[in-house]
Structure 1
Amino acid sequence: MLTHPFENLDPAQPVQVLPRHLAGSGAVDPRTTWAFPCDEGWPFAQTEFGAAAAFSPCLRLQITYDPKPDETGKGTWTISAHRAPFTAPAWRIAFDAATPVELVHDVHTEMLDLYLEDRHSDQDRLFQDATAPHEAYVPLLTRGWSHDVKTDGTQTFLTPEGLGGVRHRYDISGSSGPAWRAWGGYPSFPHWKADFSFGTPTTLVAAFTASLISTEPLHRTVQDVPVQTRRALYVATPTGKQRNGTTPVAPPPPAPVSSHTR
């Protein structure tokens, strides 16, 4: 009897999987994850050990990747935004390196869009974004996520299978910690987590949640997918050869919703 959709698949076999929050990190490459226009004044540097950094031409955006493969979370992707170069950050986003890289990519892509919009207009959405919080969390509800509001000023949204979530601190008076936190895996020991500080443009949070619930499958090999939560994954159009038996395919996920964040 099969215990999960990967039971009879070779560890090296390519598969396409959903939901995204349980897919594993995927292939980590700062150059493709960030996709900044390095030929247009975005400095980029990477060490022989994999650590990398990039900066916007104005030096107000500082982006780093710090791999730590032997630690929980496998390292950190970080975005720091500064109102002026070399000042304290106005806001910060930190992803564990174990976060599905497609989610990290989509936030960086949205950030680049905001940067370019600000550069060619009189707006400053990187620091004065008017996007309402519901733009980031209502799509979760339309995908069947649960919603729990607490008197401590937080509301939590959990995936249908309970192996992922997003927590929003809506009451900022006397608060500490991130404004938004997301995770994938068991809440007590998640595979990955992501923190968005107060001041982070809600547009970037909305880009993250849209990517999180997207029904476009992620490409992985079987060995890349976390073992502990494989029973909750769907296999979509797997390719390659199995070790034996017939490829089990789980029922398809619900119909997609728009991933447009603006």
Structure 2
Amino acid sequence: MITHPLENLDPAQHVQVLPRHLVGPGVIDPRAAWHFPYDEGWLFAQIDDGTAAAFSPCLRLQTTYEPKPDKGTWTISAHRTPYTPPDFTPPAWWITFDATTPVELLHDVHTELLDLYLEDLHSDQDRLFQDDTPPHEAYAPLLTRGWSHAVKTGGTQTFLTPDGLGAVRHRYDISGSSGPAWRAWGGHPSEPYWRAHFSFGTPTTLVAAFTASLISTEPLQRTVQDVPVHTRRALYVATPTGQQPHGNTPVAPPPPAPASGRTR
């Protein structure tokens, strides 16, 4: 009987794993995920139950983490005018991630968010609200990594991972729709382990940062016990680090490089 490398390792052992959409959330730390320059006017607050929030100096950008017994949520929201609680004005755009989303993806999106903020701050641009980046900047890299592509007449196109355990869906027809412009998930399609939603108006640059991080071939470090059990057989394991495995443990090879060109 062939076993997966993770099945022979100590649960507390650290491993380097891919693909990113199946590795689990990792260590949830809002300060590490956001990584804003708090000594330059960014505000940060966290209460005892773990709920955390950060605000840009202009108070137009807000990002929060709300832990919940079932899953929890990360949320980014942007307002055209300074947001001051209890202001209930709907944001111009928003992004949500399940707390089970790999935290490195969160970090990369927030890093790009800070770059956009600083770019707007030192120029006459307003890319946080008028980003002209075309949608293909976000989805073309998926095609080069071997993701499949399906288009529906209802105005959506879906990009599916080669293993079928992750996807990004783009609604290109914005007429008569109040749902998100972009959706992404990882895990079995019928019961994803994590989901992400990007509303209409979200800068495509942020979506592109998310998809670039999602398909990155740089392995992420996890402990064996933190890797989702129901999808771990689809993982590639790099050389384990930390504690030694029980017995001789085979290591899965890295994922093969996909063929160039688009998959339809």
Distance in 2 between residues matched to 1:95 and 1:13, nearest whole Å: 27
Residue 83 (structure 1) aligns with: 80
Q: Retained in 1: the 8 A contact 2:238–2:253?
A: no
Residue 196 (structure 1) aligns with: 198
Q: 1:251 is aligned with what amino acid? A: P
Runs of 4+ in structure 1 over 4 Å off: none
Q: 2:231 is aligned with what amino acid? A: T
Aligned-residue offset at 1:13: 0.4
Q: Retained in 2: the 8 A contact 1:97–1:192?
A: yes
Aligned-residue offset at 1:242: 4.1
| Mapped pair 1:233 → 2:235 | yes
Q: Retained in 2: the 8 A contact 1:143–1:254?
A: no
Residue 44 (structure 1) aligns with: 44
Distance in 2 between residues matched to 1:15 and 1:167, nearest whole Å: 30
Query: Which secondary structure state, in structure 2, belongs to the residue aligned with residue 6 of structure 1?
Result: helix
Distance in 1 between residues matched to 2:97 and 2:109, nearest whole Å: 11
Query: Which secondary structure state, in structure 2, belongs to the residue aligned with residue 7 of structure 1?
Result: helix
| Mapped pair 1:181 → 2:183 | yes
Residue 222 (structure 2) aligns with: 220
Q: Retained in 1: the 8 A contact 2:108–2:209?
A: yes
Deviation by residue 1:162-213 (Cα, 9 ceiling, x = unmatched): 0000000000011131100000000110110000000000000000000000
Q: 2:139 is aligned with what amino acid? A: Y
Q: Unpaired runs of 5+ in structure 2?
A: 84-88, 259-264
**What is the RMSD of the two structures over their aligned residues, measured on CA atoms?**
1.1
Question: Which TM-score applies when normalising by structure 1?
Answer: 0.94
Deviation by residue 1:42-69 (Cα, 9 ceiling, x = unmatched): 110000111100100100001100011x
Distance in 2 between residues matched to 1:119 and 1:28, nearest whole Å: 29
Deviation by residue 1:213-254 (Cα, 9 ceiling, x = unmatched): 000000000001000001100001111334522222222123
Residue 260 (structure 1) aligns with: none
Question: Which TM-score applies when normalising by structure 2?
Answer: 0.93
Aligned-residue offset at 1:255: 4.1
Residue 163 (structure 2) aligns with: 161
Aligned-residue offset at 1:142: 0.4
Distance in 2 between residues matched to 1:28 and 1:175, nearest whole Å: 33
Distance in 1 between residues matched to 2:203 and 2:182, nearest whole Å: 11
Residue 20 (structure 2) aligns with: 20
Query: Which secondary structure state, in structure 2, belongs to the residue aligned with residue 36 of structure 1?
Result: coil
Aligned runs of 1:106-117 on 2, under 5 Å?
106-117=108-119
Q: Unpaired runs of 5+ in structure 1?
A: 257-262
Distance in 1 between residues matched to 2:249 and 2:45, nearest whole Å: 43
